[in-house]
Amino acid sequence: MTGPADDFANVDFSLSVAKAGQLRAAAKEGLIERHPAFSIIDFDALEKTVARLRDAFPAHFLHAFAIKANQYPAVLETLASLGLGGEAAAPGELELAVRAGFDATRMVLDSPVKTADEIARALRLGIVINIDNFQEFEQIRGRGDLRQTGARIGFRINPQVGAGTVGLSSTATLTSKFGVGLRDPGNRARLVDTYLEHEWLNALHVHVGSVGCPLELMAQGVSAVVALATEINGRADCRKIRTIDIGGGLPVSFVSDADTPEFADYARLLEARVPELFTGEFDVITEFGRAIVAKSAFTVARVEYTKTMGGRHIALTHAGAHNMMRIVFQPAVWARRVTALNAKGEVKSGTPVEQDIAGPCCFAGDVIAHRRGLPLLERGDLVMVHDTGAYCFSNHFYYNALSPDPVYACRRSDAGDRYRFSRISAADFRT
């Protein structure tokens, strides 16, 4: 971890009006003084993102939020109340989805390794089930008369269109672990036959990957699956495949507050490449996670101490692998903007000095920013880590028995520039 400096050379030390106001309000509420680290989720921003998502796609698109991106019950309840669906990829997530009040017709089960119990629960609920492989298909088929359920059930397809720039989040490579490989010898014919032989199979699913997958690659994967649906419907001579689930994976930019790309950019590209999705011929499901929640939250951590080591400035903070696991283990992909703040939560000024921002975990690699150019941090200062709403503090890593930090829901109050905070609890997903 002694590599090059993070690629955040043109750091913008200013903050948006909203973030600056939220920090001032958090200081006034005593949050900064009270907590070594805490996160704020801006629910107004979250609602605006949902509105942009809705506006970008036609009404026959159902947006099922990928619960793994942020599992806080308050977030899920808000998204459910806004009419979104929920995509669960494990029994605990399914439990959270049920408790958050997502309508059963808006829930999707994508667990990569479904147990018999999980399948039984999903069938009882009547939710969308995306089957991972032919053995799982047999497991589901063995469960009685599935025609009666009316549920939307189909296979997850790996279109094998290739990887993006991040191997660990590319799910459509030749040898990825998800779904049925469309280009592997014999699979296409076997899928078509299986659909034609089973009346209750009526859906298809694809998720090409997250972060690092160009939109064109994602559209290519979706296009391959729509072509398969068209082939099956042609052979069946009816609208057998009614539902196409195109997955999530819209990337998020970590270099500014702007949403790039926007949902509308992806919608335009899909409309050009896969117009069948926009005619109403299919019910379409999306499964965006990161793009819905990432930019609605930030994390503030205290600089407890500072030191130098071998000429390197190091700030010892409470932002580390426990609340930012991905950043620590794969910094080249997940590094975030960090703003240096004083103890009152105001932006620090000063000449940028290269410094490491280290966390409290007891292992050497626990560093969330490497040789980052920031005004020199001092004892008692704060670091603000941007865009932590997805796959960050909500996916807590239980190392050193460090418990999850407090999280506050923040909403603008009616009276102008003021903010209200309410502490929200972490998911208790034990079933």
Ligand X SMILES: *Cc1c(COP(=O)(O)O)cnc(C)c1O
The binding site for ligand X (CB under 6 A) comprises 66, 68-69, 87, 89, 110, 207, 210, 247-250, 287-291
The minimum distance between CB 109 and ligand X, in angstroms, equals 10
To ligand X, the closest distance from the beta carbon of 400 in angstroms equals 27
Determine the residue type at 56. A
Structure tokens at 283: 């019910």
Task: List the Cα angle 118/121/126 in 5-degree steps.
Answer: 125
For residue 231, the surrounding DSSP H or E stretch is helix 215-236
Q: Which long-range contacts (CB under 8 A, 24 or more apart) does 169-172 make?
A: 169/209, 169/210, 169/211, 169/212, 169/213, 170/208, 170/209, 170/212, 170/213, 171/207, 171/208, 171/209, 171/210, 172/206, 172/208, 172/209, 172/213, 172/217, 172/221
Closer Cβ to ligand X, 68 or 313, answer by number? 68
Least spacing, CB of residue 110 vs ligand X, in Å: 4
Cβ nearer to ligand X, comparing 66 with 368: 66
Query: Cβ 40 to ligand X, closest distance in Å?
Result: 20
What DSSP state is assigned to residue 275? G
- A 10 A CB-CB count for 366 gives 21
Is 247 or 320 the residue whose CB approaches ligand X more closely? 247
Residue placing its CB nearer to ligand X in the complex, 67 or 228: 67
CB closer to ligand X out of 206 and 382? 206
Closest to ligand X by CB, 27 or 127: 127
| Shortest distance, position 194 Cβ to ligand X, whole Å | 21
CA pair distance 337, 13, nearest whole angstrom: 10
Burial profile 324-345: b = 16 or more Cβ within 10 angstroms, e = fewer: bbbbbeebebbbbbbbbbbbeb
> Using CA atoms, how far apart are residues 51 and 79, in angstroms rounded to an integer?
11
Q: How far is the CB of 318 from ligand X (least distance, A)?
A: 26
**Is 157:204 a contact under the CB 8 Å cutoff?**
yes
Cβ-based nearer residue to ligand X, 27 or 88: 88
Q: Which residue has the tokens 């990432």?
A: 294
Residue 334 to residue 211: CA distance in whole angstroms? 9
Of residues 6 and 245, the one with the C-beta less far from ligand X: 245
CB of 291 to ligand X, least distance (A): 6
DSSP state of 154: E
CB of 247 to ligand X, least distance (A): 5
Burial-class residue 36 by CB neighbours within 10 Å (0-12, 13-18, 19+).
middle
**243/355 with CB nearer ligand X:** 243
Minimum CB distance to ligand X, residue 46 (Å): 14
